[in-house]
Amino acid sequence: MINESALLESKSLRDSVLDRTDVLDRVKALSLLPDGMHVTTAMVAAYFGATVEVIRQLSKRHREELEANGMAVLRGADLRKFESDNASLSLGSYPQARRSLTIYSRRAVLNIAMLLRDSDVARQVRAYLLDMEYLARTQPVDNSVPTDPTSLDDRIDQRITHILGKTVVPMFNALIETSGEHRKELVALRAGVQRIERRLHQHHARLQRLEGTRADRPAVGVVAAMDAMNGRTFEQHIAKLLRRDGCTNVVVQGGHGDRGVDIIGLTADGRRLVVQCKRFAPYLSITSPEVQKFVGSAKVLYSADVALYVATCPFTPEALHIAAEAGITAVHRGVLEEWGAGEPLRVLE
């Protein structure tokens, strides 16, 4: 099998897999601008966990290749038109008019994943690409007309689950019935197999939630849609997600006099819940003083059992440390993406 570093060196190999842009969302949800097609340099950096400067330098070194795959630098009338179509770009980020804006298509982002060396996310994308390429080359050709769009991964999971449930577990049952000396060991092994079977079921269900197209949400751009909201609409949206996950008595009280808490309510099992909502640009960060302020409001003023700090951007390491010590759940951009796409928050269960 080809080593993933080969993608870093071979343009022809990169070109051969550039159509597999679905891999991006398999590794980590990629937020798009409201047009549903592009991301900015800052959004690319946030996706790969890199700095904006690293992405800029890489784009400069490989400009010709990336432009051929959907990177573009907008100026003048083209830039004004693009900003008008994507109004959230101008919210609180650039006090002066920008002279240019670099945007990337999903294909260009995948191209960057095959060029970016020092990023765990990029390495995962490359490994996933080569796994898929290896399977495509080694699996027998199926000329039948597909009737089910289920992915290869799903079919493998379902086949393993079927074998475990219909063959392996019954075999252990029979052995346990007829064995005296090793009965205890066999029971323990059977329990282990059943745990694996349950996890595969859970994994399959999670994939269906994250990858399936649903009528009540867009197929792409889950957080990008939140980026386009104003503060009040964003708070209402988070309240809707809380109710979806079984919370009751959910009240949005953001505004003057809220004492640092935007939403209050009860979890499904009756615990007192408070939420702070911050709709910031993805290249900004929630800092430790902001978390400390929320700790005081949530724990002292509201005596909360569950406290969520929900943000459309990352948290600084120090902010995450303070949140963990104080019992605050930091719902950063990545977690928010999954939550908005249908994955329930564990702390609410």
Same domain, 192 and 268: no
| 224 falls within a domain | no
Same domain, 126 and 165: no
| 219 falls within a domain | no
Same domain, 243 and 130: no
| 175 falls within a domain | yes
Same domain, 322 and 238: yes
**How far apart are the C-alpha atoms of 82 and 69, rounded to whole Å?**
19
| 73 falls within a domain | yes
Would you say 42 and 52 are in contact if contact means Cβ atoms under 8 Å apart?
Answer: yes
Same domain, 85 and 205: no
Say which CATH number the domain at 305 has: 3.40.1350.10
The residue ranges of the chain whose pLDDT is under 70 are 1-5, 87-97, 131-182, 197-198, 201-221, 254-258
> Which pLDDT score is estimated for 46?
93
> Which pLDDT score is estimated for 213?
41
**How far apart are the C-alpha atoms of 66 and 111, rounded to whole Å?**
7
Domain count, the chain: 3
Same domain, 127 and 12: yes
Is the dihedral angle over the CA atoms 238, 242, 244, 250 positive or is it negative?
Answer: negative
> Which pLDDT score is estimated for 195?
75
> Which pLDDT score is estimated for 15?
86
State which of 86, 112, 138 marks the end of a domain: 138
Same domain, 242 and 160: no
> Which pLDDT score is estimated for 34?
79
| 198 falls within a domain | yes
| 118 falls within a domain | yes
Q: Which domain holds residue 315?
A: 229-348
List the 248-252 sheet strands across, edge first: 248-252, 263-266, 272-278, 306-311, 328-331
